[in-house]
Structure formats: structure tokens, C-alpha cells
Structure 1
Amino acid sequence: GDVSAQQNLASAYLTGAFKTPIQPANALIWLEKSYLLLQNQLLSTTSSGDIEITHLEVASPQFLEMFKQISAVPLVATLNSPAFSFGWKSFWKLAQSNISASYAAQWQLAELLLDPNKKDLQTEIANWVSKQDGERDFFVFQKTAKEFLLQLAESETPFTNSAKELLIKLQPKDEALSSLWNAWILEKNEAALIRAAELGLTIAKLTLGLRLAQFNEVDSDANDLIGVGSGKSNASLKKAAYWLELAAKDGDRDAWFALGEIYRRPQFSGYNASESDRCFDRAADLGHPVAQFRRGANLWRKREKVEEKVRGLQASYWVWQAHQQGVPEAKELLGKILENVSDPRKNDWPELATCAEKALNHHAEHKLDEEWILLCHRLIIANQFNLSKAELLLCEVGQLQHEHCVVVDIRHELPKILPRLIQIDTTQQRRSLLAAGKVFASCESNLEGNLRQRRYRFDRVTEWLTATFSQDQAVA
């Protein structure tokens, strides 16, 4: 019946002193015995039969010591033991009081009842609570525990940081990530940035990776926090690559581009030019403008070695994509790869093309044959893209247009004539291609005949166009 001995034995079960096995449930049993003895002693000296903890704060140092020990017991480890009932009630009394041990009790209850990783334990406790007479609903306990958690997060206690972390866990993921990202944006809080990256925010992974990659630009305090020491450039780049790879897996084009840069750095132990090119190509596929220009420039530089049907076509596509996104260098290189003939008035067929347009606008009136209609479309396209007569007659109209340019290739008939890549630069050029494409798609492929037949038809049609519509222009 010695209270001090009981408390010492409980302490031994908690700490393992005197080679005692650590058994929190046994510790709680002895603390319960100690509590009952102290309560009986107090009852013998007071007329009140209802003793509250708040009445004992000043009156009994022994009670304070005992409650401090109770708050140190891991309550979760006593679940399903005979001592749990006493521990449960004691923790709630402690948490709702105003003594030094209250913070520890509040934290244990909040963590036990609210931590998303302890759902199974919470289910067990809810079942236990439902079987106790006079106990409140489990959700009421959770609500009170949430209040404890908020108080801990706003106060200065040993449990404040843990409480803040648990609050983040309890937030909807989007809200939690948003609050962490805002802490980084507004306060430059490195810890928030790292936490956001760990929780899976892609932009946080990217930002952390970029900061690590640019280790010389990160201040010393930030170096310590994110684990980059001075002179450890390779270690820094390895960490940067780790975070950037995670962001890249999320489909972030900037992360792929940064990885390409890292694999090119000579101080990086994982230096790999092939892997660097792969990362740059992936960034280009995802729309990174500089990566697109880089890819196009590389393809153009290696055009003699690249196997493609029309030399320079792939390079022109990527440089054009970069140009569309405003990369300054792309315009100059694009001018070297693609011809630009955007002013039809300066091309070789302006008068005939104008006559052909008039003929098409009145084809029913003039009862044009289908072959003549096709040739009129060829004349219009020839003027829009300044084609030669051979190209006008022999090009495959349905295969001319690519997304960014026209590919004029007549080597199937005249092998010595090199293909041409001509930039599509105006709306009128696209309209002429679209109109011609529809007409040619609805016609038989061999309708126009061979080169000799096409030349003969060309002479007849151009004579008729000149005679018919040039005369109309003169009258007008």
C-alpha cells in the first residue's frame, strides 16, 4: 500500500529500469492503485465526496507527480487491457485540466483519435466506447480531440510541431498542399517546400529539384535545411535529379528539361549525354519551347545522318513549334530550313491564279470538266507557294500539307528535282490547300493522267483562262 513504491514500480514498467520488461498496461495498473490510495487518503481529510483534478493542482504534489506519470503512458499500448478504462478516463480528465501534464494527454488523445493512419485503432475504440454505460458518442470525443489539437498547434509546447503536422494530414490533400505551397511562395519557408514535395505536389518537386541543381545560388541557411553543403556539388545534383525525376514522372516538361541539363553537367557523377538527349526529347514532346528548339537544331545539324523521306522535315517541325512559342533564335533557323513565299503577288502565277479563282467561282456557268477544276486548284496552290511548272503539274496535292509547311516532292516522276519545304504562313495559303484537298479527295487518283496529258491540259486551260477572264478584267 505504499504510494511511492507503486509509482516507482509503474515508472520501472514504463522505462525498463531494474531490467523490468516495458509493459505500459502494468504501469497503468499500478498507477491506478496509487490513484485510488491517494483518493482515499484525500477523502479521509475532506468532506467532499466529489474530487476533481482542478482541486488537487495545488493541494497534492503526489497527485501531480502521479498524473505526470499517467500522461507518459502510451495509451494506445494499453488498449484491450484491464487498465485501459482507467487510462481513458484519466487522460480525458488530464486533458481538460490546466496542469503541466495536460499537454501530453491532449496530444495523445488527439493523435489516437484523429490520425488517419490509425483508423483500425479508432474503430476498436469506437466499439469499446459504445459498450460503456454513460459514455458519450465516439464522434463527440473526436470533436473534442480536434479542439485539443488546434490549441496545441497555436500554443508553444513540445507538441506544437507534431500538432501542426497532424493538422496538415487532416486537411483535404488539395487544401494541405495549397497551404504548404503558399507558405513557400509568401514566406520562402523551405520546410514547407520540402513537405509539399514529399506529399506529392509536382510544382514543389520541380522547385526543390531546381534549387538543388542551382546549389551555388542557394543561401547557406537553405543549404543546411535541404541538405546541401558547400562543395558537395555532385551530392546536390543527385538530390536534384531525384526530385526532378519524380516531377518528370508526373509529366512536368520543365522537370524533363532540367534533368537533361543535369545529365550534361561534368560535375555530375551520372553524366550521360544519351540520357540527357532523351530527357530533352521528352521535354520537347511535352511542349517545352527551348527543348523543341534544341531538338530541331540538333536534327538540322545532323540532317545528313538522319534517315527521313524529306531532309529537314523533322527539324523544321520542332523549330517551328519553338517559333510558335516565342523562342527568338527559332525564327532565324526556320528561315534557313523553310522557304517563305507568303506574298502571292511576287510569285510566278498571280494572273493565272486570279483567273482560276474566277473560273472556280463560276464553274457551273462555264461547265468545267472535273480535270479542269483540278488544274485550276493546282494553279492557285502553285501561286500561293511559288511552285515551278513541273511541281504544279506533278505534286500530290493531297499530300502537300503538313502541320507547319508544304512538302513538294516530285521525285516519283523527276528523280533529280530535290524536294522543297515551304512554310505555311498565311490564312489564304491554308484555305487554298483545304479547298483543293477536298476536291482531290473526292476524285479518282488516275483522273489527271500522265505528265504528257497534264501538260496538254495545262496549255488548253491556261489559254482558255487568259482568253476568258483576262478579257473580263480588261473590260472592267
Structure 2
Amino acid sequence: MASREFLKILSSARLGDVSAQQKLAQAYLTGAFKTPIQPANALIWLEKSYFSITNQLLESQTSSAPEILNVLSQVANIPLASTFNSPAFEFGWNSFWGLAEATGDSEPKLAAKWQLVNLLINPSNLEIQSKLSDWLINRAKREPSPTLEKINNLDLGGLQKLAKQYLQELAEGESSFGPSAKELLIKLQPKNEALSSLWQVWLNEQNEDALIQAAELGLTVAKLTLGLRLAQLDERIEAAETKSNASLKKAAYWLELAAKDGDRDAWYALGEIYRRPQFSGYNAAESDRAIDRAADLGHPQAQLRKGANLWRKREKNEEKVRGLQASYWVWQAHQQGVPEAKELLSKILESCPNPKLNEWFELAQCAQEAINHHAEHKLNEDWFLLCYRLIIANQFNFSKAELLLSEVGQLQHEHCVVVDIRWELPKILPRLIQIETIQQRRALLAAGKAFAGSEIDLEGNLRQRRYRFDRVTKWLTNTFSKNQVGVEVD
């Protein structure tokens, strides 16, 4: 028997109370007030609420209102497949497609996409999908929604194709629907039941026959696991050293199949096998290629190996700044927590995380103060840019020549600063300095924006820059140095 609270809300909803209609819909959706869960009834009341609000807006000549968005966000939570025979299904259909095709990545939009995916391509709704085709034909004879022109022109096959795109987006995203989307993707793969059961047998019983069958049927993780077991690369290196050529050839076969599926661990294992002296397919170049591919796919140890290899060969590599490529890959490995990467990175990149220890610290403080009050002091643009040079020089401990001549807009790379002034002073070698603090990144970003809008020849030649440096630093010291106690530079 319905509760008094429910009956009270129902009475108000029947009288046209929009808030009560929405509460009633929520009750049918969640089971509040001991109400039986009935998604179809929830959609009916949300439809009534939607049109009540729309009529009110027409009377007040208002084009939009938050109340409409609130109703549609509630509609997005309704399992659309459960409302197929409901009188309000067409309203739900139009609402869900409207949300799914809207701009942005709001939660209601993602929820709408998931419900459409579930309705159109989930195998558990095959019966509804067969009936939906007839419903679409009958709907086409009526006047379709004017706001859904793209959807109106698609048949069931076209809509299912669009739903598969939604499914892929949800599976690749980080929303709450991601895990469910990934499960459905697996469910839609052919031979899924056989693969899942075989893999589960292997996990539970370590049955090698089940592992081989799963690999033969195309399961990537089974190919990888079988290849690693045959090469004994998942055990101690000493064991792998004693493995026969026949086993290594079989291992390479399965690992190559897994690598073609894009598995980074398989590429890394192939790189190991190609370096085994007892392997008849020994090939150092092919080993490096496999390690490089694993690194490209994000394998941390492969990234370290690739970086170390580039560092050893830096004299032979043709790159504008020696060690830049090597530092990038070692830095990537360091970011993923590889302990050995830190030591090698310190050999490639210079470190200066504390600007207080650098010789430009006091001048950089004055320069920051000048920038903060540049409108008050009416700084010329060339003086303004020199202030940014002082801040950057302090953050990365530049020499005076580097301060004056570095091309600020080209300093920053993803992981480091490249200081190269050979265009003016050919004998001064480039330096690679690691970006380690938020303050350093902020300084680079601010300076980059300032220099991006300036003319190329504004700062002049080296003689002009030196003359300007003397004038600006003298002015900064006289104007700001007495007021710098306790001021820090970002």
C-alpha cells in the first residue's frame, strides 16, 4: 500500500505541480516511499514536468531555464530499454539523443550515451532491437523531431553504428561508465564466451592446455603469457639463459602475435629474446627496434633502455642538441618510477630547483616587482622583456650571455630547458636543464606569452642588449631593492 507521503506527492503532481512531478518520477526510479520501481512511469512524469516547464517558458517568452536542464539530467538516469512500450518512450528517445549530441562532456550527456548504447547494441536487448526497427519505420511516417535531423535520417543500422562510436568513447574515457563500457566491448567480441572460460580455467587451475587454446583463439594476454612462459622471461634471467633455441623460437612466435595486437610487454620481451646468444634469430638491430616500440607504447624499462642507448650513442646521433632525445626517454622512465632512471637523468640534465641560490635572485625579485607594476612605471617593451629574461635566468641559473641571448620562446621542452646560444657565440656548448618545480613552469609560460607577441628584432644585437642590461638592472636596483624584503619570485 502506498504511503501517505507518496499519495500527497501524487495528488500535487496530478494538479500540475512541477516539483511534485519530478519527485514522483524519482520515487518510481529509486523505490522511495516503498514505491515499486517502474522506469516507464518515471519517464511519463518527467515528460509531464518537461512540457509544464516548456509551456510556462512560452507564456513568459523565455528561451531557456535551468529547470529544463534539471529535468533532462533526471531523464538521463532512466534505463531507456525498460521504457520501450511506454507512451513516453518517444519523449525519452528524443531527449536521450538530444543529450548525447549536445556539446561538452557533462555527466547527463555521458549517461545518455550509455543508455542509448545499452538499448541499441547490448545483446541482452535483442528482442527490443528487433521491435525498434518497426517503431522507427512508423515514426518516420509521423513528424520527426526538428532538432534531431541527423538522427531522423538514420535507420537502425546507422543508429547502431553511432552507438558503437559512443561505446568506444565511453570505454576510452574516465567516466563512471568506463568499466561497464569496457565489459560490453569484450562481450561484443566474437568467441568471447570460449575465451573468457578458457582464461578463467588457466587463472584458477594453471591448466596449460587452456592457456594454449586461449592463445590460439586470439586472446592477447594468453599469447603474451604463453610466450613469457616458453622463454622463462617471467622468471630469473639465469633460467632464461639456459632455455633452448627451440623454446625461444616458440616464445618469439607467440610474443610476435601479442606484439601485433599492440601489447607493450610483448615488444619488450621480444627485445630480450633477440639479444639471447643461444637464439638462432639473434639480431641486435631487431632487439633495439622492439625495445623502441615498447618504449613508444609506454613500457617504463624499455624507455630507460632506449634513453640509455641514445645517451651512449650521442656522439654518433645527428641531433641539434646532443642528449636531448636520450634525456626525454630517461625522464619518461623516471616519471613512471624506475629507480635507475634518476641517476642517469642527473648525468644528462643539470638541476637547479632552488632559485634563491642563484646569482640573479635579487635582480629577479626586482624584475618581478617591475612586471607587477609595469603600467605604473610605463615600461618600454624591450625593458619589459628583459625583466622576464632575468626571472628565467634566475630560475635556471643562466650565465650572463645565456640571459641576454637565449631564445626564450624556444627554451621549453616537455621535460627540460634547452639553452643554445651558438647562433651568436658558437663556442659555447648548449645546456640541458631539468624543469623540476611549478615555479619554473609558470615562469616559462609567462615569459613565453610575453615574447610571443613581440617583434623579432626588438631587442637588437648583443651590444645593444648589454647596454640595455646595464641600464635596466641599475634602474631595478634603485627602484625596488629597498622594498624587496620577504618578496619571492614565482
Q: Shorter-normalised TM-score: what interval?
A: 0.5 to 0.7
Per-residue deviation at 1:473?
Answer: 3.2
Q: Name the counterpart of 2:206.
A: 188
Q: Name the counterpart of 2:224.
A: 206
Q: Name the counterpart of 1:54.
A: none
Secondary structure class of the residue paired with 1:421: strand
Distance, in Å, in 1 between the alignment partners of 2:368 and 2:284 is 54
Deviations 1:398-424 (A, max 9, x none): 110011100000000000111000000
- Which runs of no fewer than 5 residues in structure 2 stay unpaired? 1-186, 237-241
Q: Name the counterpart of 1:425.
A: 436
Secondary structure class of the residue paired with 1:444: coil
Secondary structure class of the residue paired with 1:422: strand
Structure 2 CA distance for partners of 1:348 and 1:265, relative to 1, 3 Å:
same
Distance, in Å, in 1 between the alignment partners of 2:340 and 2:233 is 28
Q: Is the 8 A contact 2:233 2:269 kept in 1?
A: no
Secondary structure class of the residue paired with 1:179: helix
The answer on 1:254 being equivalent to 2:265 is yes
Secondary structure class of the residue paired with 1:333: helix
Per-residue deviation at 1:300?
Answer: 1.1
The answer on 1:446 being equivalent to 2:449 is no
Question: May I ask how many residue pairs the two structures share in their alignment?
Answer: 296
Q: Name the counterpart of 1:317.
A: 328
Q: Name the counterpart of 1:456.
A: 467
Q: Name the counterpart of 1:398.
A: 409
Q: Is the 8 A contact 2:227 2:251 kept in 1?
A: yes
Per-residue deviation at 1:217?
Answer: 6.4
The answer on 1:174 being equivalent to 2:192 is yes
Distance, in Å, in 1 between the alignment partners of 2:415 and 2:234 is 41
Distance, in Å, in 1 between the alignment partners of 2:364 and 2:451 is 18
Alignment equivalent of 2:447, drawn from 433, 436, 443: 436
The answer on 1:361 being equivalent to 2:372 is yes
With the length of structure 1 as denominator, give the TM-score of the two structures: 0.60
Deviations 1:407-452 (A, max 9, x none): 0000000001110000000111001001111111111111111111
Per-residue deviation at 1:270?
Answer: 0.7
Structure 2 CA distance for partners of 1:174 and 1:372, relative to 1, 3 Å:
farther
Matches within 5 A, 1:122-161: none
Moved more, 185-194 or 309-318: 185-194
Distance, in Å, in 1 between the alignment partners of 2:234 and 2:263 is 24
Q: Is the 8 A contact 2:231 2:243 kept in 1?
A: no
| Matched residue type, 1:320 | W
Distance, in Å, in 1 between the alignment partners of 2:234 and 2:302 is 24
Secondary structure class of the residue paired with 1:266: coil
The answer on 1:282 being equivalent to 2:300 is no
Per-residue deviation at 1:171?
Answer: 9.4
Structure 2 CA distance for partners of 1:171 and 1:426, relative to 1, 3 Å:
closer
Q: Percent identity?
A: 81
Distance, in Å, in 2 between the alignment partners of 1:434 and 1:312 is 24
Q: Name the counterpart of 1:20.
A: none
Q: Name the counterpart of 1:270.
A: 281
Structure 2 CA distance for partners of 1:171 and 1:445, relative to 1, 3 Å:
closer
Alignment equivalent of 1:341, drawn from 345, 352, 363: 352
Distance, in Å, in 1 between the alignment partners of 2:477 and 2:486 is 13
Q: Is the 8 A contact 1:212 1:237 kept in 2?
A: yes
Deviations 1:162-186 (A, max 9, x none): xxxxxxx999533432222222112
Matches within 5 A, 1:51-70: none
Q: Is the 8 A contact 1:215 1:233 kept in 2?
A: no
| Matched residue type, 1:194 | I
The answer on 1:467 being equivalent to 2:447 is no
Q: Is the 8 A contact 1:448 1:454 kept in 2?
A: yes
Matches within 5 A, 1:59-138: none
Per-residue deviation at 1:472?
Answer: 2.3
Distance, in Å, in 2 between the alignment partners of 1:215 and 1:408 is 42
Distance, in Å, in 1 between the alignment partners of 2:449 and 2:378 is 19
Per-residue deviation at 1:272?
Answer: 0.9
Moved more, 449-458 or 387-396: 449-458
Structure 2 CA distance for partners of 1:408 and 1:267, relative to 1, 3 Å:
same
Per-residue deviation at 1:474?
Answer: 6.6
Secondary structure class of the residue paired with 1:407: strand
| Matched residue type, 2:334 | H
Q: Name the counterpart of 1:350.
A: 361
Secondary structure class of the residue paired with 2:418: strand
| Matched residue type, 2:409 | G
Distance, in Å, in 2 between the alignment partners of 1:355 and 1:383 is 12
Per-residue deviation at 1:213?
Answer: 0.8
Q: Is the 8 A contact 2:366 2:484 kept in 1?
A: no
Structure 2 CA distance for partners of 1:206 and 1:295, relative to 1, 3 Å:
same
Distance, in Å, in 2 between the alignment partners of 1:303 and 1:276 is 19
Per-residue deviation at 1:387?
Answer: 0.2
Q: Is the 8 A contact 2:228 2:234 kept in 1?
A: no
Distance, in Å, in 2 between the alignment partners of 1:216 and 1:362 is 62
- Which runs of no fewer than 5 residues in structure 1 stay unpaired? 1-168, 219-230
Q: Is the 8 A contact 1:215 1:236 kept in 2?
A: no
Q: Is the 8 A contact 2:232 2:243 kept in 1?
A: no
Structure 2 CA distance for partners of 1:304 and 1:280, relative to 1, 3 Å:
same
Q: Which has the larger radius of gyration?
A: 1
Distance, in Å, in 1 between the alignment partners of 2:212 and 2:457 is 66
Structure 2 CA distance for partners of 1:334 and 1:467, relative to 1, 3 Å:
same
Distance, in Å, in 2 between the alignment partners of 1:217 and 1:236 is 15
Structure 2 CA distance for partners of 1:381 and 1:177, relative to 1, 3 Å:
same
Distance, in Å, in 2 between the alignment partners of 1:440 and 1:170 is 53
| Matched residue type, 2:366 | C
| Matched residue type, 1:188 | Q
Distance, in Å, in 2 between the alignment partners of 1:170 and 1:430 is 45
Distance, in Å, in 2 between the alignment partners of 1:178 and 1:407 is 50
Secondary structure class of the residue paired with 1:406: strand
Distance, in Å, in 1 between the alignment partners of 2:439 and 2:218 is 48
Distance, in Å, in 1 between the alignment partners of 2:412 and 2:481 is 30
